[in-house]
Each structure stands twice: as structure tokens, then as C-alpha cells.
């Protein structure tokens, strides 16, 4: 019997403990509430912000409300929060609870103290206003986000309502200056760290490393590639990078590996390690921040790898190797990247590289190329040259050799054809003591439809060496150095004092790097340039692959000043070598688009 009683008591205690663990919703002591609620959720109390969407400088609003109140004729309250996390920037008071003009106050000025993290205000009714029943907003407050959460962190502060100091009970008053009994409903602000939506990735730069016109057995040949990291979001707190690079050891050796600079601006010291495994065709690289540092972001160089070419076949055979980036799973890695806690970070697919070396040529050889440096001039058999633009002079060279020894005083024929097959010119040059013949011509720019000549031009050079004719072919693009494709605005119309976002898209066939200026000007319907002036950007172009133009875009912002005439405005976009004041000139015709300026404020 005692055992049975003990068991029942035990069960009762366990049940009581279980019930105690369940959060119970207690009944409110009073129907009336003084509540701090999100202005966009007047039934809620919590404000949630996320670091991948919301950022310092963004704002939110709360509404302090008297709910289900009877006989309200005045109010005073203090709202507190954690200083430094958020700042209150604006108050809006409800002066119409008792009818227009039937109020006294506000009684507190200044009402906002962001150093202490407090807001204090009071307002009372006056005749002929009468006490009111119902639910009323008292003050709407605007806050700005100041502090950002750290990695994995949630910042929280209560938006705590309380009576002002010095009063026993004084928040909601009736007409007799008596406190109206009420409960407090405090608000809560949360700022959550959230994983960024953008992932970093690694790339081999240049991606394509294709060479011709070499003989490594006569002149050793080396080349270098950079391993870059791209699109690093500071929210990931990237602190370490490790990867493997695989290459073909039958055609390449690694001569050197040089540390990059990506982490330099973000820390006091760096760690860099590499190990080459030549028998396996594998390079391991590790790069990390040491000690405390700022959050790394953006793009940057991890290392530079110098390769030595060790094998070459006779033309037309080639040798090649992938430059293949891989996660170092052999070393226990599941990602290329880790954060300051050594947690692995997601990544986007890597951009691998490629190496190719054309065969060396012996016997009777002619190699036609332009004035651009190797490899941009088309050096090597059947290699293309970098582009030319209107009225630019083209210098053609032909190296004539027999078993790699120059053939002197030989006439060389050059034929140049436009994209439609028209023979534009035929020229003859004579080889000098180094076996090189030289001729030149200037790119045509006729009076009618000159752009019809744009496209791929072809050059064929021939020479007779001991009664056998040999030839080489070279092609190049003829176009503007910059070719505009589109200019758009974020919206089709803007009010005065708005900020107009403009996106300019353009292409270039340039393989070598060039520095250009993209300039954007807004003219209103009366043809006045916007008073805030022209905006511009310095852009470096280059890196195109033959027959595939490189695509670019540039973003600009123009302030629509109040002096801009309403109506249809025109955006003018130009590409320049430099400012005309500095003797710069246009690289192509301008592109324009229309946008509507409204007769309103933004």
C-alpha cells in the first residue's frame, strides 16, 4: 500500500514538474494596455532584421499605443533601449485624440536621448476636448540601425516602456489626473546575422593561356597565372583559403609561387604556404589571416604561379594542359574557404585555366603579324591579331626563315581583304637582315556608311623560298574600341530631387588593356544640362578573346535637381580616351535614351 501511494505521489510530482515546464499564458491584470508595437504589425511586439537584407543606416518604425483605454485625457511615458545598437531619429505625435487643437504640450524637449537610449514625452487634452475611450496611437518613432551583428550573432534590445522618474504612477491619465490602470506590452528588436546570398569563388587568370611562334629548345619560354578570389562578402568573415592546382607535368614545371595581397588590408599578419608535388602534377596553397582583423571583402590576389614550358612538338601538333583548381579533400577540406572560427564556407564553382603551346616550325616558314607585342600581334602560324579602330594605321610584318635562319632580301606579298571579300590593298615588302619584311596601311573610313567595313579583316602573306611558295594568314577585328549596346534607367520617370540610376552597357574586342572614360550627362526638355554636372567613370577594358567581344557595364547616379525642367529629358553617354581639356577624344558615337521628369517632388 505504501508502495502504491509512493508511486502515485511520484507520478503527481512528475506531472507537476512537467506542467511547470510548459509556458503558461497568464491572464492580464488590466484590459487597458500601453504597448510598443511595430508600425507594420500592430498586433505584434517583435521587430526582426536580417543582415543579408537589412543594413546599418536602414530605418524602422514603432508605434506606442494606448489600447482599450477608458477616459483617456493625457499621457506620459519613457521608452528605453540599448544605446549604440539603434538610434531614435524622429517622433510623430498624435495631436488629434481629443479633436484638432484640443491638446497641451508636448511637454518634453528634447525628447530623444540616444546617448542614454531613452525617449520621454507627454501630451494632455484640454477643453473643449473630452476624455476618450478606445485605442489610440500616441507617438510613432523612427529608429535607424547602428550596430551590425557579428558572425552567427543576434543583437537584441527590449523597447521597454516605463513611467517617468519621480512619479509613482503616471502614464495614462483620466480627466481627474488619476492614473488609468494598465499593463505594459514592451517591444523587442532583434538583428540576426544571416548567411550572405553571394558566394566567393576562385579563378585562374588568364583563363586561356594559348601561345604560338615559340621554340622552347632555342629560347626557353615561361608564363605566369594569377589565382584570384572573387566576390567575397564581408558577412562570411573569410579568414583562410586552401586549394589544389593540378597541371600536366609532361609539358609544364612550376618555377615559382609568389604570395598574393588579398588579406593585406584586413589584418596585421598573414600566413602563406605552398608545396609542389611535381611527380603528381599538383600544387597545394594555403593562405590565411593571422590575429584579429577586419572582415575581408571584394576581390584579390592569392598567389602568382610561374610555369616553365618543358615540351613542344613540331607544327601543327600542340601540347596542352588543364590548370585545374580543386578543393583539398586530401587534406580534409570540404571547401576552399574557412571563416575565423575555422568553419567551412560555401563557394561558387571555380574558374579553371587552360594552357596550349603550338608546335615549332622548321623548313620554309613565313609568319605575318602586326605591330602589337607578342602574343597580341598574331605572332605564330595562323594566329589572330588584336583589334584596330577607325583610321588607325596597321603595320604588317612578315618573318621569313628557313630552318629558323632568316632569309634576306626576299620580296613578300601582302593581300588585305575586307569582311565582304573586297581586296582593299596588295603590298610588297622586302626582308631585311633579320628576315623581316614590313608594309603598312591605314584603316579605311569612307564618307558613306563607314561602319559597313566593321568585322573581321584577313591578311595573307606569301613568299617564294627556293621555288616553293609558303604563306601565313592573319585576321583581326575592325570596330570602335568601345561599342555601346544599351543605356537604361532603373525607372522610366523621376520626380525632382530623386537620384536617377543609369546603367550603361558596352562591348569591346580589345585584347590588350586600355583606359577609357565613360561620361554621362542629362539634358532636360529645354536642353539645359543638369546643374549638378556630368558624371563619369574610369574603366579599364581588355581581355577579349578573338571573335568574342568582352561585355561591360557601368552604373551611374545623377541627382535630378529642382531646376531641371519637367518633361522628356535625354541622357547622353560618351566614351573618351581622356577629357577634351586634356586632349582626349571620342572613341565612338554617343548613345542616348529618353527619360521622363515629372512635375512633382520625389
What pLDDT sits at residue 150? 86
What pLDDT sits at residue 362? 86
Q: What is the CATH number of the domain that holds 184?
A: 2.60.40.680
Return the C-alpha torsion angle 134, 140, 146, 152, nearest 10.
30
Boundaries of domain holding 65: 33-192
Same domain membership, residue 533 and residue 422:
no
- Reply yes or no on whether the pLDDT at 456 is more than 70: yes
Q: Provide the 8-state DSSP code for 115.
A: T
Beta carbons within 8 Å of 346's beta carbon, 6+ residues apart = 195, 199, 335
Using a pLDDT cut of 90, give the percent of the chain over it: 86
Q: What is the mean pLDDT of residues 443-449?
A: 97
- Reply yes or no on whether the pLDDT at 585 is more than 80: yes
Tell whether 8 is covered by a domain.
no
Look at strands 112-113 and 436-442 and give their pairing: unpaired
Same domain membership, residue 205 and residue 181:
no
Tell me the torsion sign for CA atoms 447, 449, 451, 455: negative
Q: What is the mean pLDDT of residues 495-516?
A: 97
What pLDDT sits at residue 151? 86
What pLDDT sits at residue 11? 31
Same domain membership, residue 488 and residue 348:
no
Same domain membership, residue 117 and residue 104:
yes
What is the rounded CA–CA span in Å between residue 414 and residue 370? Answer: 12
Q: What is the CATH number of the domain that holds 435?
A: 2.60.40.1930
What pLDDT sits at residue 16? 32
The SS3 of residue 314 is strand
Tell whether 88 is covered by a domain.
yes
What pLDDT sits at residue 169? 56
Place of cell 604588317: 396
Task: Please say which residue of 335, 358, 381 terminates a domain.
Answer: 358
What is the rounded CA–CA span in Å between residue 381 and residue 363? Answer: 13
pLDDT, tens digit (0-9, with 9 covering 90-100), for 563-572? 999 999 999 9
pLDDT class for 17, splitting at 50, 70, 90? very low
pLDDT class for 165, splitting at 50, 70, 90? confident
pLDDT, tens digit (0-9, with 9 covering 90-100), for 307-332? 999 999 998 899 999 999 999 999 99
Same domain membership, residue 497 and residue 468:
no
Same domain membership, residue 409 and residue 338:
no
Ramachandran category for residue 84: left, alpha or beta (phi over 0 → left; psi -120 to 50 → alpha): left
pLDDT class for 401, splitting at 50, 70, 90? very high
Cell of 93: 505625435
Cβ atoms of 371 and 377 closer than 8 Å: yes
What pLDDT sits at residue 295? 87
Q: What is the mean pLDDT of residues 220-233?
A: 97
What average pLDDT does the chain have? 92
Tell whether 16 is covered by a domain.
no
* DSSP H helix total and E strand total for the chain: 1, 41
What pLDDT sits at residue 293? 80
CA nearest 550: which of 559, 561, 558, 541?
541
Same domain membership, residue 349 and residue 210:
yes
Q: How many domains does the chain have?
A: 4
Tell whether 12 is covered by a domain.
no
Using a pLDDT cut of 70, give the percent of the chain over it: 95
- Cα 318 → chain centroid: 38
Task: Please say which residue of 172, 192, 212 terminates a domain.
Answer: 192
- Reply yes or no on whether the pLDDT at 158 is more than 60: yes
Same domain membership, residue 285 and residue 154:
no
pLDDT, tens digit (0-9, with 9 covering 90-100), for 507-539? 999 999 999 999 999 999 999 999 989 999 999
What pLDDT sits at residue 174? 92
What pLDDT sits at residue 2? 35
Same domain membership, residue 430 and residue 510:
no
What pLDDT sits at residue 24? 40
Same domain membership, residue 173 and residue 47:
yes
Same domain membership, residue 113 and residue 56:
yes
Q: What is the mean pLDDT of residues 270-299?
A: 93
What is the rounded CA–CA span in Å between residue 81 and residue 159? Answer: 5
pLDDT class for 434, splitting at 50, 70, 90? very high
Within 13 A of 582's CA, how many CA atoms are on the CB side?
A: 5
Phi, psi of 354 (to 5 degrees): -145, 140
What pLDDT sits at residue 7? 32
Beta carbons within 8 Å of 413's beta carbon, 6+ residues apart = 426, 427, 428, 461, 462, 463
pLDDT, tens digit (0-9, with 9 covering 90-100), for 179-204? 999 999 999 999 999 999 899 999 99
Same domain membership, residue 534 and residue 438:
no
CA distances from 599 to 501, 563, 571 (A): 19, 11, 18
Tell whether 21 is covered by a domain.
no
Amino acid at each position: 500500500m505504501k508502495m502504491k501511494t509512493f508511486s502515485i505521489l511520484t507520478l503527481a510530482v512528475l506531472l507537476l514538474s512537467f506542467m511547470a515546464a510548459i509556458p503558461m499564458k497568464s491572464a492580464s491584470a488590466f484590459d487597458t494596455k500601453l504597448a510598443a508595437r511595430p508600425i507594420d504589425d500592430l498586433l505584434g511586439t517583435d521587430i526582426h532584421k536580417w543582415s543579408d537584407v537589412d543594413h546599418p543606416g536602414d530605418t524602422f518604425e514603432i508605434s506606442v499605443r494606448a489600447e482599450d483605454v477608458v477616459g483617456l485625457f493625457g499621457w506620459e511615458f519613457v521608452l528605453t533601449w540599448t544605446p549604440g545598437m539603434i538610434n531614435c531619429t524622429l517622433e510623430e505625435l498624435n495631436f488629434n485624440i481629443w479633436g484638432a487643437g484640443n491638446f497641451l504640450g508636448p511637454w518634453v524637449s528634447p525628447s530623444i536621448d540616444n546617448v542614454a537610449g531613452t525617449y520621454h514625452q507627454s501630451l494632455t487634452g484640454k477643453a473643449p476636448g473630452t476624455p476618450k475611450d478606445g485605442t489610440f496611437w500616441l507617438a510613432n518613432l523612427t529608429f535607424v540601425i547602428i550596430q551590425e551583428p557579428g558572425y552567427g550573432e543576434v543583437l537584441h534590445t527590449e523597447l521597454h516602456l516605463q513611467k517617468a522618474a519621480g512619479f509613482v504612477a503616471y502614464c495614462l491619465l483620466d480627466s481627474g489626473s488619476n492614473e488609468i490602470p494598465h499593463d505594459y506590452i514592451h517591444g523587442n528588436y532583434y538583428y540576426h546575422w544571416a548567411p550572405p546570398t553571394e558566394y566567393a569563388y576562385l579563378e585562374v587568370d588568364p583563363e586561356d593561356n594559348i601561345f604560338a611562334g615559340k621554340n622552347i629548345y632555342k629560347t626557353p619560354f615561361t608564363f605566369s597565372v594569377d589565382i584570384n578570389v572573387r566576390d567575397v562578402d564581408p558577412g562570411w568573415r573569410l579568414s583562410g583559403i586552401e586549394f589544389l592546382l593540378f597541371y600536366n607535368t609532361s609539358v609544364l614545371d612550376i618555377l615559382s609561387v609568389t604570395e598574393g595581397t588579398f588579406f593585406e588590408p584586413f589584418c596585421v599578419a598573414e600566413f602563406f604556404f605552398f608545396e609542389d608535388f611535381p611527380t603528381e602534377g599538383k600544387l597545394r596553397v594555403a593562405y590565411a589571416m593571422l590575429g584579429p582583423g577586419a572582415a575581408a571583402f571584394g576581390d584579390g590576389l592569392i598567389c602568382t604561379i610561374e610555369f616553365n614550358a618543358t615540351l613542344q612538338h613540331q607544327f601543327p601538333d600542340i601540347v596542352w594542359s588543364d590548370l585545374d583548381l580543386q578543393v583539398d579533400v586530401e587534406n580534409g577540406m570540404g571547401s576552399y574557404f574557412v571563416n575565423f572560427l575555422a568553419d567551412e564556407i560555401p563557394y561558387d564553382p571555380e574558374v579553371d585555366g587552360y594552357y596550349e603551346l603550338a608546335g615549332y616550325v622548321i623548313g620554309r616558314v613565313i609568319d605575318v603579324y602586326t605591330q602589337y607585342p607578342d602574343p597580341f600581334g598574331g605572332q605564330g602560324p595562323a594566329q589572330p591579331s588584336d583589334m584596330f579602330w577607325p583610321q588607325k594605321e596597321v603595320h604588317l610584318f612578315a618573318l621569313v626563315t628557313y630552318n629558323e635562319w632568316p632569309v634576306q632580301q626576299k620580296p613578300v606579298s601582302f593581300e588585305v581583304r575586307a569582311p565582304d571579300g573586297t581586296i582593299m590593298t596588295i603590298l610588297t615588302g622586302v626582308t631585311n637582315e633579320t628576315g623581316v619584311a614590313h608594309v603598312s596601311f591605314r584603316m579605311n573610313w569612307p564618307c558613306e556608311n563607314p561602319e559597313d567595313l566593321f568585322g573581321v579583316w584577313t591578311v595573307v602573306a606569301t613568299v617564294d623560298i627556293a621555288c616553293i611558295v609558303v604563306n601565313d594568314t592573319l585576321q583581326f577585328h575592325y570596330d570602335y574600341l568601345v561599342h555601346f549596346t544599351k543605356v537604361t534607367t532603373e525607372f522610366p520617370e523621376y520626380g525632382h530631387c530623386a537620384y536617377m540610376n543609369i546603367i550603361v552597357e558596352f562591348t569591346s574586342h580589345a585584347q590588350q588593356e586600355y583606359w577609357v572614360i565613360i561620361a554621362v550627362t542629362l539634358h532636360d526638355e529645354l536642353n539645359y544640362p543638369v546643374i549638378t554636372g556630368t558624371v563619369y567613370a574610369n574603366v579599364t577594358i581588355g581581355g577579349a578573346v578573338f571573335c568574342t567581344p568582352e561585355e561591360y557595364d557601368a552604373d551611374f547616379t545623377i541627382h535630378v535637381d529642382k531646376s531641371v525642367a519637367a518633361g522628356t529629358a535625354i541622357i547622353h553617354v560618351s566614351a573618351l580616351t581622356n577629357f577634351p581639356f586634356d586632349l582626349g577624344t571620342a572613341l565612338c558615337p554617343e548613345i542616348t535614351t529618353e527619360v521622363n521628369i515629372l512635375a512633382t517632388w520625389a
